Chains A and B, each alone.
Chain A
Amino acid sequence: MKKTGEGLTRRDFLKGATFATLAATMGLPGQTFAEGGEKSESSRVVLVRHADVLSKDGSASQEVTEEMIQSGIRELFQTETAEEAWKKLFGPEDIVGIKSNVWGPLPTPGAVENAISKGLISAGVDEKNIDIDDRGVLRNEIFKKATAYINTRPMRTHHWSGVGGCLKNPIMFTPTPWAYHDNSCADLAKVWELSVLKDKVRLNVLVMFTPLFHGVGAHHFNAEYTWRYNGLILGTDPVAVDSTGLSILNSKRREYFEEDRPIKPPAHHIVFAQTKHKLGISDPSRIDLVKLGWKENILI
């Protein structure tokens, strides 16, 4: 058996503290218990929720969304004001692409895109040096010149990769997305090594307003399997952000189905992003999760 993370088997997940906690991330059997030994590295993630972010018709309030983004980024960087936090990340010299997601049934809400743009402007980024795109990122002039990106999309289960979150969102930065599909997208983290992207994503915002926790049909969508969670997850580590979102989806599935029903296929790309590609932290025991705002049915 290989135990390096290069190639993992079920037996690796069944034994050993490290892989047992990762197994829990994937919804695989394996005991979840606190790891012994040193925890050399951790990632800070902020979950912010607001009971009133969505109107009756499901549209997101611009004002409340901005309030959530601002409080989230302030907490993430532990600054006095949100503006200080934005200025830690961006400055007037930056050209910034906001990598959004246009997937029809569950796109990135405009309110989130606008709130991020405002934050960038507060950091001194020139409005003309900011653009929002998804499928056209390789042709977008701002994205082509970008010095930095912000990565934002809603969390959902996915037919092929288990879940679609921040790790998967930059797939449009390659002209051959299918080249990353092998083995249920196990090595999605490789996308982050593309020269156009590497070390340029400074903030990830996983939208958890109405996440999709289960899919049916060819398009893997039915509104029946979304719910009003009213949350945003912010972090600089996309692996920790997705791992946190995945934990919430798993909790929701347990609540809804009244049994453990692991997401299929397991979202092993999140685990491999830590163990094999060293992109970030997927192990929940090493994620410093800060929870802000509305606590009802928080599920984590």
Chain B
Amino acid sequence: MKNGIFGHPTVNIIVAFLILSIFISCSGENEIQKDEAMKISDLFPSEIDGWSPSGEFETYDREGIFTYINGAGEVYRMYDFREVWVRHYEKEGAPEITVEIFDMGKPEDAYGVFQHASQGGDAGIGRESEFNGGLLSFWQGCYYVTLLPEKLTDDTKQAVLNAGSEIAKKIGDKGEKPELVSYMPTENRIANSLKYFHLHTSLNYHYYLASENILNLNESTDAALAVYDPDRVYLVLIEYPSPEDAEDARSSFISAYIPEAAEEGIYEVQSDNWTAIDKSNDYLIVVFDADSKQACLDLIKNVKENLTK
């Protein structure tokens, strides 16, 4: 839902006190939620290089996000998205700046949503950042943050960089990347190709595999994907809740995608185009588009070594 919360600074303080009084008398769960919400509003700059807040804060939860960003809200809902807070900043004669702070529930998912559409180009802000197409985005802690000027000028660029730095400083806690991505080999990995996600729709976004969910991905699975030179080989590493779940997914994949491979789990799907799948405890390792059987085996071996380090 879109919620107009604050307006005039004085009203802000009064409303803040009222909310604080109310949730002190509420249940512990509500107290935690409200307390968290208050912290998000505190992350916004009070002004940005002469740009002042315009209008009220807007907030959207998992349902309301569709109102705010149409069907694209699904991208955030693929992760543990809780809510987004939005504020617009105005300055006379200058383009508007919009700041959005997404509470992604946990650092791993803030990282995942940042990497989802990342194109590279470190802006030096937060845990990881980029400045592309006029948009500054970064993740830090549980938060994914975007700052978008209506028009990119030297002034708006500097303003969003300054505001981004201020927000990152206020967030403080840096947050850790998902452990899973540390198992992905770094040698020959194409820059910026590393992705982290949970669902089949995310896999299809990065590498269209199948219309059906043949790897049994779901909210309780964690997956990493990266692309390797030479020949743009795709490597997918998935952690399942149990070895049995991993085995079920392996069988499903072989049956739906490479039935010719049978138990060996490796097959040349086209001339010089190999696909392989292997299992290690809770993990499945899948290789696509390798130019040889050996290239598949080498990547799988590298991952297995990383898993046992």
Contact = CB atoms under 8 A, between A and B. Distances in A.
Contacts of A185: 71
Interface in B77-119: 84, 100, 102, 117
Interface string B189-203: 000000000001100
B62 to A, nearest CB: 11
Interface residues of B, number: 38
Contact of B210 (A8, A159, A219, A264): A8
Interface in B145-203: 146, 148, 200-201
Contact of A266 (B66, B102, B208, B259): B208
Interface of B: 66, 68-75, 84, 100, 102, 117, 132-135, 137, 146, 148, 200-201, 204-206, 208-212, 214, 256-257, 259, 269-270, 273, 288
Nearest to A168: B71
Contacts, number: 107
Given A8-B211, A216-B117, A268-B208, A181 B134 contact: no
Given A7-B211, A9-B257, A264-B117, 6 more contacts: A9-B211, A10-B257, A160-B73, A181-B74, A214-B133, A219-B69
A161 interface: yes
Describe B's contact surface by its main secondary structure.
Answer: mixed
A10 B258 CA distance: 11
Contacts of A14: 269-270, 273
Given A1-B256, A10-B209, A217-B148, A161 B214 contact: no
Interface stretch (A220-228, A230-238, A244-252, A285-293): A220-228
A154 to B, nearest CB: 13
A272 B210 CA distance: 12
Contact of B256 (A9, A178, A216, A225): A9
B71 A217 contact: no
A253 B200 CA distance: 26
Contacts of A33: none
User: Which are the 3 A-B pairs with shortest beta-carbon distances?
Assistant: A159-B72, A216-B133, A9-B210
A254 interface: no
A177 B66 contact: yes
Contacts of B269: 11, 14
Interface centre among B72, B117, B148 (most CB of A within 10 A): B72
A219 B88 CA distance: 14
A219 B72 CA distance: 7
A62 B288 CA distance: 52
Contacts of A216: 117, 132-135
A186 B211 contact: yes
Interface in A1-27: 1-2, 7-11, 13-15, 26
A158 B134 contact: no
Given A9-B257, A177-B66, A217 B75 contact: no
B204 A183 contact: yes
A291 B119 CA distance: 35
Contacts of B256: 1-2, 9
B257 A158 contact: no
Contacts of B132: 216
A171 B200 CA distance: 23
23 contacts: A1-B256, A2-B256, A7-B210, A7-B212, A9-B257, A10-B208, A13-B208, A158-B71, A159-B69, A160-B71, A161-B71, A178-B71, A186-B211, A216-B133, A217-B133, A218-B72, A218-B84, A219-B69, A222-B134, A222-B135, A264-B117, A265-B208, A268-B211
